[in-house]
Structure 1
Amino acid sequence: MSGERTTMTRRTVIGGAAALAAAGFQTVPAYAGREKTVRLTVMGTTDLHGNVFNWDYFKNAEYDDAAHNDIGLAKISTLVTAVRDRIAADQRALRPLLLDAGDTIQGTPLSYYFARIEPITGENGTGGHLHPMAAAMNEIGYDAAALGNHEFNYGLDILRKFQRQLDFPLLGANAEDWTTGLPVFPPYVLKRVHVPGEKPITVGILGLTNPGIAIWDKAVVENKIKFGGVVELAKVWVPRVRKAGADVVIVSVHSGMDLSSSYGDALPVPENASALMVETVPGIDAVLVGHAHQEIPERLVTNKETGQQAVLTEPLKWGMRLSLIDLDLRKEHGQWKVVGRHAQVLNANTVDADPKVVAVLQQDHDTVIEYVNSKIGTCTEAMSAATAPWEDTAALDFVNFIQADAVAKAVVGTPQASLPVLAIAAPFNRAAAIPAGDVSIRDVAGLYVFDNTLLAVTMTGTQIREYLEFSAQYFKQITGTGPFTSDQVTNAPTPTAPIGTPDYNYDILGGLTKPLTYKIDIAKPVGSRITDLAYDGVAVAADQQFVVAVNNYRQSGGGNFPHIKTAPVVYNRQVEIRQLMIDYVIATGSVDPSAFHTGDWSLVSGGAPIIVNP
C-alpha cells in the first residue's frame, strides 16, 4: 500500500498565491527605477538525494522530523508551478529558470532500487526504465543541473544512463578527462530569455562539482576522471561563459558556502568554497550552493577585485526548500546588466504534492515500498537497542561488526593491513529492533536511522583512551550499584549540552577479530572513568596503532570528540553504513548474534557492576 495515496493529510495548502504565501514568499521590491528594469527569477534545489515523495521508506510512514519538514520533488513541483503562475501574471517578470546543484540519484531506497536492484535501462526517454529522479525532474521542467559527488556512487554506467535520460544538461566544468584535461560533462549552458520589445537576455549557467569525488569515489573515477578545484576552474570558465555571450552568469556548484574540507590536506583544493569562489572570481552574478545540507536563504558576497556583489543561496536538502533568486536587469549601453539581486527560500511543508508528479512515479514508489518490506533473511534471536546506552548489546555490536569488516577488507594490501581494526557506533535509536525469524530490509535499516557514510582513520592507544573518556561524560556521576532507572544514569548535562547529552553523542568501541575491552566507572569524575582498557586481553599501549571505522558525521567533527577529526584518513568511499548492513543480510541470508556479540564493555561503580533498568 502506498502511503502517498493514504496519508497526505498534514499541513496542506492547494497551489497558487496561497501556496506561495504559506511557503514564506516575500515580495522583494524591484531595483530603483523599476520602469527601466526587468526581473529574472531563478529557482533552485539541491541535495535531493532520491526524494520524490514525502515518504520515509525505512519507517514505512509519511516523512516527519522535529521541525515538521516535508520532502520530495512532488511538493517542490507545486511550489515551482505557483512561482511560474505568479510570474506569468507580471508583465515585467521574465520566464523563470529552474536549476539543481547536485546529489540527485543517491540517498533513498527509491534511488537505490533503480541503480542496484532493477538498474535503469531507458535512454533519451525511449525504451527501458527511466530513473525516477529523471522522470520527476523532466516532468517539472528543469533547465540545468550540476553534478554532485554522490552521482558517482553507482558507477559511471548508471550516471551516463541517467544523464542521457534528462531533458536538460548535467553540468560539471571541473570533471575532466584524466589524460586530456578536457571536460567530460558539459561545462555550461546558455539560456536565452525572451524580453518583450527588447533583445533577449542570455543567461550562462556554469556547473561545478566537488573535487572530493577523487577521494570518495576513487574506485570509480581513478585513471578516468580528475577533478579540479572549484575556485581554480571557475577562474577558467566564468570568462569563457562571458565570452560566449552571457549577460548573466549563474553558477550551480556542489560545494558548501564556507571554506572547509573533510579530507584535510589529502587534496590541494578545499571541499567547500562557494563564497571564496565569488570573492576570487570576477563576473559571477548568483550562485546556487549545494553539498553542505544547510539552509541559507540569502548571502551577499563581494568580489575583492571588482567590488561587485553576487547573491548566494542554499535550499537545505531533500526538497525541503525551494530557493528563489531574483535578479533585476537594466540595459546599459545596449547590454543587459544586473543592478539588483535578492534570494529567499520557500518551505515545501505547506503544499500538497503535485498530482502529475505523483502519477508519473506512483508505480515506482509502490514497487520500492514492497521491496523494503520484503524478507531478506532471518535472525536467530531478537536484537534490541533498548538498553544499548548502558549495556553491551548485540544490536550495536552488529553495527560495529559491519563497519569494521568493511574497513578490514578495504585496507588489504595497504600499509594499515596489519593493524587491529576497531569500530565506533552510537545508540541512535532505542526503539530499534530486529526480530527473531524473518527480517525485512526495513528491520535492518531501523538500527541505523541516519544517512551516514563509512570512513576509517588511524589512532593511537592514548587517543583511543581519551576518546572513550570524552564519550563517558554521557553518564551522570553516581555512587552505589543500583538498581537505577536509565534517566538517573544516562544523558548527563554538559556545558555544550545543558539539557543532556543526546544518545547519538555517546560512542561505543569494539574490535573486529579480537575484543577491545573496557569498563566505565561512573562513580569517578569525568575524565578518569575508563579502566581496564585492553585489546585481546593485553593492556592497550600508549603508542599502539589501530585502524578505526567511524561514520562521516563523527569524523567531520560532529559531537566534538577528540582526535577523530584530525586523525589520518585511510578509507573513505562514501558508502552508506545502512546499506552495508542490508547488503550483509542479503549476502549471508542470516543474522546470528553469537557471531559478533561478545559483551566487551560494562558500566561499574567503584569497580562493581551496576544495575540499570529502562
Structure 2
Amino acid sequence: MTNSGERTTMTRRTLIGGASALAAAGFTAVPAYAGGTGHGRSVRLSVMGTTDLHGNVFNWDYFKNAEYDDSAHNDIGLAKISTLVTAVRDRIAADRHAPRPLLLDAGDTIQGTPLAYYFAKIEPITGGHIHPMAAAMNRIGYDAAALGNHEFNYGIELLRKFQRQLRFPLLGANAQDWTTGLPAFPPYVLKRVHVPGEKPITVGILGLTNPGIAIWDKANVENKLKFGGIVELAKVWVPRVRKAGADIVIASVHSGMDLSSSYGDALPYPENTSVLLAETVPGIDAVLVGHAHLEIPERLVTNKTSGEQVVLSEPLKWGMRLSLIDLDLQKVRGRWKVVSRHSQVLNANTVGADPRVVELLQKDHEKVVSYVNSKIGTCTEAMSAATAPWEDTAALDFVNFIQADAVSKALVGTPQESLPVLAIAAPFNRAAAIPAGDVSIRDVAGLYIFDNTLLAVTMTGAQVKAYLEFSAAYYKQVTGAGPFPSDQVTNAPTSTAPGGTPDYNYDVVGGRTKPLTYKIDIAKAVGARITDLSYDGVAVAADQQFVVAVNNYRQSGGGNFPHVSTAPVVYNRQVEIRQLMIDYVTATGSVDPNTFHTVDWSLTSNGTPITVTS
C-alpha cells in the first residue's frame, strides 16, 4: 500500500466521539418544546440528512493524490459523516424515552469522483461488485434516499443495479415511466418509529428529484423516463402519504432552495423549487434540500394554505456537513403532530473517519488510487487552467482540440465533412494542471472533472456570435486597462445566477484546423461585447455554416445557452470527453501544447487590452 493511500486512514484532527464530537461539530442543544402540555408530553424526533455526496467516501482528493483540503479547511466523505451519525445516535440513545433518529439523503450519490467513475466504467458494478457508495451507506444505516440528477449519468441499467444493492429505498415520486406516467421508483416510504410508552410515530418520507434530468441526461432517459414538476407531483403525493397513515411528512428533494432554473424556459418546471414546495404544498413538515451545493443550516417558511411552518436544511456537499432536523411532536386527537421545529448542520471537519467504513472500502480506494496515478504519457511543457477564465490558455485549447479532432474524424464521408469544425469548452477547474514530464490519468482527469459526453451540432455564424455574447455575460462590466483582480472581472451575477455566474457556465470557442478569433469588450453592455469575430482571418458571415463540438450538458440545455439545444445534431456516439483526452495521451504518448495552442481571444475595454491578475 502506498503512503498516499495510508494517509486516508488518518486525519488532521483527533478522533473524538459522543457529546464531545457533537460539540466540536457545532451542535447547539435546543430546548425541547414546552408549550401546549394539555395534549401530553412532547417527543423529539431527530432527522439527519446528507446530500450531493458525489462519490465521496474518503477525505481524499484523487486529482491531487492528497488528503482533501480547501480554503475553508472542509473535510469530505461518508467515513467522516459516519462518525457524526454515530455521535448523534449515541446522544439520543442516552435518553431512553427518545425515539431513534432517521437518516436520509437528498441525491447525487454515484457520480463525481474517480472512485465513482471507476466502478461505473472501468469495473462497473453491473459485473457484481458492490458500489462503494452503496456499501458505505448500508454500513452507516440510511433509512431512505432521493434520486439526484447525476444518478442517471451512467445509464438506467447501472442505476438499477445500484438501487438493488441498497438496503433502503431510493425514492423519486416524479421519476415516471415514459409511457404510463406511473412512478418508476418508489415515491415514498413509511417508517414506524418506536416511542417508549406511546404509540409509534409514522413518518412518511417523500422523495423528489430534479426535472432537469430530462435535459441533462436526455440520451439516457428519453423514451424511457420522464420527470414531472416537483411542486406538481408533491401536490399529488403528499395527500397520499398522509392517507397511508403518516403522522408527519418529510420531503427529501434534489432541488435548490430559491426559485431559479439554469435551463430557462426549456422545461415547464423549475430546477430549484424547495422553498416554493414548502410554501405551496400543505402537509409537509420538513424538507431536506439538495442540488445547489449550499450550506443552509435552517430556513423556516410558512405554508400559504395551512399556515403551518416548514423547516428546510441543506448540508452543503460531498459530506462536508450533516443536517440535523429536530421535530417536537405531541399527540393531537390521537395523532402525532409537529408543534415545534428546528435545524442545524454539523461540520465533518471536526471528527475523524469511522475506521469501520475505512476498513470496508480501503481496497476499493487503493485500486482507484493506483488507477488514477498510472502513467499514460508525457507533456513537453506544463499547462495550467488557473487563468483560463480570463485568458486563452493551452489547457482549455487542449480540451477543444480533443473534442474537435474526434468530431472531424467522425465526419469523414458525411455531408458535413467539408464544414469548418469549432469546439466549446469551459474552465471547470481552475486548480487543474498538467505537468511537464510524466502525465498520469489523474493529471488529465483533473482538467475535465465532469463525466460529459461529446456531441456536435451545426450552427450559423450569427448563432455562434449570439452564443459568444451570451457567454460573455460571465464578465462584470469594467472600464480602463487595469490591472484588475480576477474577482472584479469574472463571475458576474445574472438573473439566473444571482450569486455569480459559475465558471462552468462560461464557454470558450476555438477552431480545429484554422483559428476562430474574437475579442470580448467588457466595458460594453452585455449582448454587445463580441468584436472582430473572424475565422481564418476573415470576418464570420451571419449565414456561414459551422460544425460545433459541445458536451451533452450544454447541448441538452444546461446553462440555457442560445441555439445549441435546438441545432441539428450531426455527431453523438456517447463517448466521454475525459476518456477521449486520456485515450489521446495514451495513444500518442506525448502532449505538445505548441501543436494546438494559439492565443485567439482576449479581453478588452473600449478596444484596449486589459490586464487581469489572479
The answer to whether the superposition gives a TM-score over 0.5 is yes
CA offset at residue 518 of structure 1?
Answer: 3.9
Partner of 2:18: 16
Partner of 1:72: 77
User: How big is each residue's C-alpha offset from its partner over 1:107-162, in whole Å with a ceiling of 9 and x where there is no partner?
Assistant: 0000110110011147xxxxx42100011001100001111111111111111111
Partner of 1:569: 565
CA offset at residue 466 of structure 1?
Answer: 4.8
Q: Secondary structure in 1 aligned to 2:162?
A: helix
- Is the 8 Å Cα contact of residues 75 and 348 (structure 1) preserved in structure 2? yes
TM-score normalised by length of structure 1: 0.83
- Is the 8 Å Cα contact of residues 384 and 433 (structure 1) preserved in structure 2? yes
In 1, the alpha carbon distance for the partners of 2:178 and 2:350 equals: 46
Partner of 2:496: none
In 1, the alpha carbon distance for the partners of 2:294 and 2:213 equals: 20
User: Please, which runs of 5 or more residues in structure 1 have no aligned partner?
Assistant: 123-127, 479-486, 559-563
Q: Identify which of 105, 110, 115 aligns with 1:105.
A: 110
Q: Which moved more, 1:108-117 or 1:420-429?
A: 420-429
In 2, the alpha carbon distance for the partners of 1:30 and 1:606 equals: 62
Number of residue pairs aligned between Structure 1 and Structure 2: 590
Q: Secondary structure in 1 aligned to 2:157?
A: helix
1:471/1:513 Cα in 2 relative to 1: closer, same or farther (>3 Å)?
farther
CA offset at residue 538 of structure 1?
Answer: 1.1
CA offset at residue 11 of structure 1?
Answer: 3.2
CA offset at residue 429 of structure 1?
Answer: 3.9
Q: Secondary structure in 1 aligned to 2:514?
A: coil
In 1, the alpha carbon distance for the partners of 2:126 and 2:284 equals: 38
2:436 partner amino acid: P
Give yes or no for the alignment of 1:6 onto 2:7.
yes
Give yes or no for the alignment of 1:224 onto 2:224.
yes
Q: Which moved more, 1:11-20 or 1:47-56?
A: 11-20
Give yes or no for the alignment of 1:382 onto 2:375.
no
In 1, the alpha carbon distance for the partners of 2:258 and 2:409 equals: 35
In 2, the alpha carbon distance for the partners of 1:606 and 1:291 equals: 39
Q: Secondary structure in 2 aligned to 1:36?
A: coil
User: How big is each residue's C-alpha offset from its partner over 1:138-195, in whole Å with a ceiling of 9 and x where there is no partner?
Assistant: 1100001111111111111111111111111111111111112221211111110111
In 2, the alpha carbon distance for the partners of 1:25 and 1:14 equals: 14
Q: Secondary structure in 2 aligned to 1:569?
A: coil
1:37/1:150 Cα in 2 relative to 1: closer, same or farther (>3 Å)?
same
Give yes or no for the alignment of 1:48 onto 2:53.
yes
Q: Secondary structure in 2 aligned to 1:214?
A: helix
1:471/1:355 Cα in 2 relative to 1: closer, same or farther (>3 Å)?
closer
In 2, the alpha carbon distance for the partners of 1:613 and 1:36 equals: 62
1:580/1:236 Cα in 2 relative to 1: closer, same or farther (>3 Å)?
farther
User: How big is each residue's C-alpha offset from its partner over 1:510-566, in whole Å with a ceiling of 9 and x where there is no partner?
Assistant: 223431124689xx97789976431122113467676584897999999xxxxx756
1:45 partner amino acid: T
In 1, the alpha carbon distance for the partners of 2:217 and 2:490 equals: 38
1:83/1:189 Cα in 2 relative to 1: closer, same or farther (>3 Å)?
same
Question: What are the residue-to-residue correspondences of 1:469-548 with 2, within 5 Å?
Answer: 477=480, 491=486, 493=488, 508-518=508-518, 532-541=532-541, 547=548
Give yes or no for the alignment of 1:155 onto 2:160.
no
1:10 partner amino acid: R
1:60 partner amino acid: N
RMSD, aligned CA? 4.3
Partner of 1:82: 87
In 1, the alpha carbon distance for the partners of 2:193 and 2:611 equals: 70
CA offset at residue 14 of structure 1?
Answer: 1.0
1:338/1:570 Cα in 2 relative to 1: closer, same or farther (>3 Å)?
same
- Is the 8 Å Cα contact of residues 554 and 565 (structure 2) preserved in structure 1? no
In 1, the alpha carbon distance for the partners of 2:157 and 2:520 equals: 49
Give yes or no for the alignment of 1:316 onto 2:316.
yes
1:553/1:566 Cα in 2 relative to 1: closer, same or farther (>3 Å)?
closer
- Is the 8 Å Cα contact of residues 60 and 68 (structure 2) preserved in structure 1? yes
CA offset at residue 105 of structure 1?
Answer: 0.5
User: How big is each residue's C-alpha offset from its partner over 1:226-261, in whole Å with a ceiling of 9 and x where there is no partner?
Assistant: 111111111111111111111111111111111111
Q: Which moved more, 1:307-316 or 1:532-541?
A: 532-541
In 2, the alpha carbon distance for the partners of 1:12 and 1:569 equals: 50
2:172 partner amino acid: G
In 2, the alpha carbon distance for the partners of 1:536 and 1:189 equals: 60
Question: What are the residue-to-residue correspondences of 1:73-472 with 2, within 5 Å?
Answer: 73-121=78-126, 128-376=128-376, 378-379=377-378, 381-385=380-384, 392-404=392-404, 421-426=422-427, 429=430, 432-436=433-437, 438-448=438-448, 460=463, 462-463=465-466, 466=469
Q: Which moved more, 1:503-512 or 1:307-316?
A: 503-512
User: Please, which runs of 5 or more residues in structure 2 have no aligned partner?
Assistant: 493-500
Q: Secondary structure in 1 aligned to 2:327?
A: strand
1:507/1:83 Cα in 2 relative to 1: closer, same or farther (>3 Å)?
same
User: How big is each residue's C-alpha offset from its partner over 1:316-374, in whole Å with a ceiling of 9 and x where there is no partner?
Assistant: 10000000111111011111111111111001000000001000011111111000001
1:289/1:435 Cα in 2 relative to 1: closer, same or farther (>3 Å)?
same
CA offset at residue 606 of structure 1?
Answer: 12
In 2, the alpha carbon distance for the partners of 1:347 and 1:611 equals: 39
1:87 partner amino acid: I
CA offset at residue 310 of structure 1?
Answer: 1.2
TM-score normalised by length of structure 2: 0.83
- Is the 8 Å Cα contact of residues 557 and 565 (structure 2) preserved in structure 1? no
Partner of 1:481: none
1:272/1:392 Cα in 2 relative to 1: closer, same or farther (>3 Å)?
closer
In 2, the alpha carbon distance for the partners of 1:38 and 1:613 equals: 56
In 1, the alpha carbon distance for the partners of 2:386 and 2:23 equals: 46
- Is the 8 Å Cα contact of residues 385 and 396 (structure 2) preserved in structure 1? no
